[in-house]
Amino acid sequence: MSADITGDGARRDLFSPVHLGRVSGAIVEQVRLLIRQGRLKPGDRLPSERDLCESFGVSRVTVREALRVLEAGGLVEIRVGARGGAFVTVPSTERVGASLADLVGLSPLTVDDVNEARRVFELGIVPLVVERVTDEDLADLYRLCQQQRAARDDEDTSTGLSARFHVRVAGATHNAAIEMLVHSFHGPLLGSTREDQEVAPRTAGRGTREHLDFVKALERRDVEAATGIMSRHLGRGARRGRSSRSSRAVRPDTT
């Protein structure tokens, strides 16, 4: 059960004053550390802004700035109203992945880099996907295949759906760490997929068929077939990359 650490007798001793020059960043780090240590748990409500100001020895403006940073990082949720306040939460895989994506996006990745990483990563998770895929996962993957087939003439939509398909496959592992990693790679993945379609636009239909064949193999729980299909699917993109623009940087996509 979550704890309310506000009001009379509040556990304001959790926090210590911060020094000028560190201020809001130091507040953020204190809260992060308390969460890592388990002294603040998901659902806990932080003390009021006034109490935090007194605990940290800073102004309300500084406390609000720190809370905004914590909220942006998915560590707290700000609720309004009589029962509102700042509540400790757990970052979603999407939010953590987005933060990692910022780091990946700043790296000088080439198309070859992305394709090589995709082969290592996406082929490596196939056995887990085959073992753990659920009926709901299969339904979602079939739906994406249908949407991609219907959008073959719309390059941007088709490209986005292709990237979403690969992300959804990773989700079928039901492993939060894998989901976070694939979300972090979504921008370069989308850029790689778009590069492939620009170089060989007529292969989009073939890629959609391979997606469908892959899902059918998952449904049969056929690891060998699923691995072979995904290997051929990713291998075509890698060969096109080496032959045409392997040294070019991937254009990260934020959509």
Task: Say which range, 108-117, 140-149, 182-191, 192-201, has the weakest mean pLDDT.
Answer: 192-201
> 110-114, 118-122, 198-202: which has the highest mean pLDDT?
118-122
Averaged pLDDT of the chain: 79
Are the C-beta atoms of residues 32 and 72 closer than 8 Å to each other? no
Most confident of 52-56, 148-152, 201-205: 52-56
pLDDT at 187: 58
Query: CB count, 10 Å around CB of 195?
Result: 22
Query: In this structure, what are the phi and psi dihedrals at residue 79, rounded to the nearest 5 degrees?
Result: -115, 145
Q: What confidence tier does 236 reach under pLDDT thresholds 50, 70, 90? A: confident
Amino acid present at 136: E
For residue 77 the two structure tokens come to 């949720």
Q: What is the pLDDT of residue 186?
A: 64
Contact between 238 and 119 under an 8 Å Cβ cutoff? The reply is yes
Residue 184 scores a pLDDT above 90 = no
Helix H or strand E encompassing 204? helix 204-219
Q: Which residue has the higher pLDDT, 118 or 143?
A: 143
pLDDT tens track for 37-63: 889 998 999 999 999 999 988 999 999
- Cα(60)–Cα(73) distance, rounded to whole angstroms? 20
Which residues make Cβ contacts (< 8 Å) with residue 7, sequence separation at least 6?
none
> What is residue 254's predicted lDDT score, i.e. its pLDDT?
40
Lowest mean pLDDT: which of 124-128, 170-174, 191-195, 221-225?
Answer: 191-195
CA distances from residue 14 to 30, 63, 79 in whole angstroms, order as listed: 9, 15, 22
> Structure tokens of 136?
């709901």
pLDDT in the model for residue 255: 40
151 phi/psi in degrees, rounded to 5:
-105, 20
- Whole-prediction pTM: 0.62
Residue 244 — pLDDT band, cuts 50, 70, 90? very low
Q: What are phi and psi of 86, to 5 degrees?
A: -100, 120
Closest by CA position to 15, among listed 24, 25, 4, 27? 27
Residue 193 reports pLDDT greater than 80? no
pLDDT at site 151: 84
Q: According to the model, what pLDDT value does residue 176 have?
A: 84
Q: Residue 174 contacts by C-beta under 8 Å, 6 or more apart in sequence?
A: 132, 134
Distance CA 165, CA 157 (A): 12
Most confident of 15-29, 98-112, 232-246: 15-29
What are 158-182's pLDDT values in tens digits? 777 888 898 899 999 999 888 877 7
Residue with structure tokens 């979403």? 164
Task: List the Cα angle 36/21/35 in 5-degree steps.
Answer: 10
Range name among 36-40, 144-148, 209-213 with the lowest pLDDT average: 36-40
CA dist 88 → 18, 60, 231 (Å): 21, 19, 42
